[in-house]
């Protein structure tokens, strides 16, 4: 190993292709066998003096953690598009660059969103439970019926890259797509969807509502008892963005009362230990924050994070910098 290679830390073992690249191009401690928490990252950073640290959303680096990073650290490269686990202003103020992994996970997150939409509308969780118990009786004509997805009205909150990719897929299901965003997109990016400046005006028109916006660092949830009440009775909520966007007690009430027919959730307020009241609901289809969890996408995310490190040490512009 040559000491001229950049020294890096990673909070988790990366995909094989990225681990091979680390072996060849970087100096790094052995891959962690379990994800490192923030305290472990800080301890190792002081011992190892890396130029860059690769983290995921499981290892937050907030105010005091940022202050505690050693001077050697010049880049925090998160292997995620989401940034809510990082205090970006504090990192930038310390002269530490930040990068994330946009674009490469857009398709897989949108695919998973479609899975949640279909699974929630078509009662996949209940069917799966029934089949695992052996099925055992012929279902009546009107027993355990779901709702048709084709032709329904889908509301999207947050029409960034992932929201647009979901809208594109929804068109394949002949859905009428509405969206609410801070500002209207150029029509060439709208994917045929209709813009609503007012969320309050859009919600009553949605059969299915899907969230595709980042969690605001200080803002409260966007899905609350008030916003849920504006959805039509029998609608479906899907969240593959961030758990912090949803007031889970209000969600549970809406699912229990039948105001919501069902929900499809990939993200939760308390990960990896979601509220047991959600786990107990039959009408929720759940996945474990797995929007980007494919070999192709996770490999691309790891490689992009390493590309940012390589660019930093070469004094070149970062491919995917976070600027604010
Ligand atoms: C992301 O990239 O933000 C995914 O949610 C994984 O953290």
Are residues 160 and 213 in contact, defined by beta-carbon separation less than 8 angstroms?
A: yes
Which has the closest alpha carbon to 80: 103, 107, 52?
A: 103
Taking CA 232 as the corner, what is the angle to CA 229 and CA 233, rounded to the nearest 5 degrees? 85
pLDDT, position 1: 44
Per-residue model confidence as pLDDT tens digits over 82-102:
999 999 999 999 999 999 999
- The residue ranges of DSSP E strands in the chain, in sequence order, are 8-10, 52-55, 75-78, 97-99, 153-157, 176-180, 194-195, 208-211, 235-239, 260-265, 284-286
| DSSP state letters, 225-236 | HHHHHHSPTTEE
Percent of the chain topping pLDDT 70: 98
Average pLDDT, the chain: 97
pLDDT, position 223: 98
Which ligand 1 atom lies nearest to the CA of residue 80? 2
Which has the closest alpha carbon to 169: 127, 125, 208, 126?
A: 208
Q: Give pTM, 2 decimals.
A: 0.95
- Rounded Cα–Cα distance for residues 232 and 229 (Å): 8
Per-residue model confidence as pLDDT tens digits over 278-308:
999 999 999 999 999 999 999 999 999 999 9
Question: What are φ and ψ of residue 161, in 5° steps?
Answer: -60, -45
pLDDT, position 145: 98
Task: Kindly report the protein residue whose alpha carbon is nearest to atom 7 of ligand 1.
Answer: 80
Which residues surround ligand 1 with Cβ inside 6 Å? 57, 80-82, 105, 291-292
pLDDT classification of 3: cutoffs 50, 70, 90: low
Which has the closest alpha carbon to 162: 271, 240, 56?
A: 240
Task: Kindly report the protein residue whose alpha carbon is nearest to atom 4 of ligand 1.
Answer: 80
Is 242 part of the annotated catalytic residue set? yes
User: Treating both helix axes as pointing N-terminal to C-terminal, what angle do 295-313 and 16-25 enclose, rounded to 10 degrees?
Assistant: 20
Task: Kindly report the protein residue whose alpha carbon is nearest to atom 3 of ligand 1.
Answer: 82
Is 259 part of the annotated catalytic residue set? no
Query: Which stretch of DSSP H or E encloses residue 171?
Result: helix 161-172
Query: Which residue in the list 57, 161, 242, 298 is annotated as catalytic?
Result: 242
pLDDT, position 324: 78
Per-residue model confidence as pLDDT tens digits over 170-196:
999 999 999 999 999 999 999 999 999
């Amino acid at each position: 190993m040559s000491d001229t290679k950049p020294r890096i830390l990673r909070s988790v073992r990366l995909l094989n292709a990225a681990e091979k690249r680390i072996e060849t191009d970087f100096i790094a401690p052995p891959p962690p066998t379990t994800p490192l928490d923030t305290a472990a990252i800080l301890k190792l950073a002081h011992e190892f003096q890396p130029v860059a640290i690769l983290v995921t959303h499981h290892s937050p680096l907030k105010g005091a953690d940022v202050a505690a990073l050693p001077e050697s650290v010049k880049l925090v490269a998160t292997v995620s598009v989401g940034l809510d686990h990082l205090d970006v202003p504090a990192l930038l103020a310390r002269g530490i660059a930040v990068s994330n992994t946009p674009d490469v996970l857009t398709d897989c997150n949108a695919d998973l969103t479609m899975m949640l939409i279909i699974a929630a509308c078509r009662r996949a969780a209940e069917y799966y439970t029934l089949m695992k118990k052996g099925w055992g009786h012929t279902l009546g004509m009107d027993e355990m019926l779901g709702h048709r997805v084709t032709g329904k009205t889908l509301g999207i909150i947050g029409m960034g890259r992932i929201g647009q990719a979901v809208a594109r897929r929804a068109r394949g299901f002949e859905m009428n797509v509405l969206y609410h965003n801070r500002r209207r997109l150029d029509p060439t990016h709208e994917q045929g969807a209709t813009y609503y400046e007012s969320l309050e005006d859009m919600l009553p028109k949605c059969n299915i509502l899907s969230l595709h916006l980042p969690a605001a660092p200080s803002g409260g949830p966007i899905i609350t008892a008030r916003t849920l009440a504006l959805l039509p009775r029998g609608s479906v909520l899907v969240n593959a963005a961030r758990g912090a966007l949803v007031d889970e007690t209000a969600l549970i009430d809406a699912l229990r009362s039948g105001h919501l027919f069902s929900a499809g959730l990939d993200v939760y307020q308390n990960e990896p230990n979601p509220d047991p009241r959600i786990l107990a609901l039959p009408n929720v289809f759940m996945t474990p924050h797995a929007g980007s969890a494919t070999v192709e996408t996770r490999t691309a995310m790891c490689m992009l994070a390493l590309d940012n490190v390589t660019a930093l040490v070469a004094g070149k512009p970062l491919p995917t910098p976070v600027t604010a």
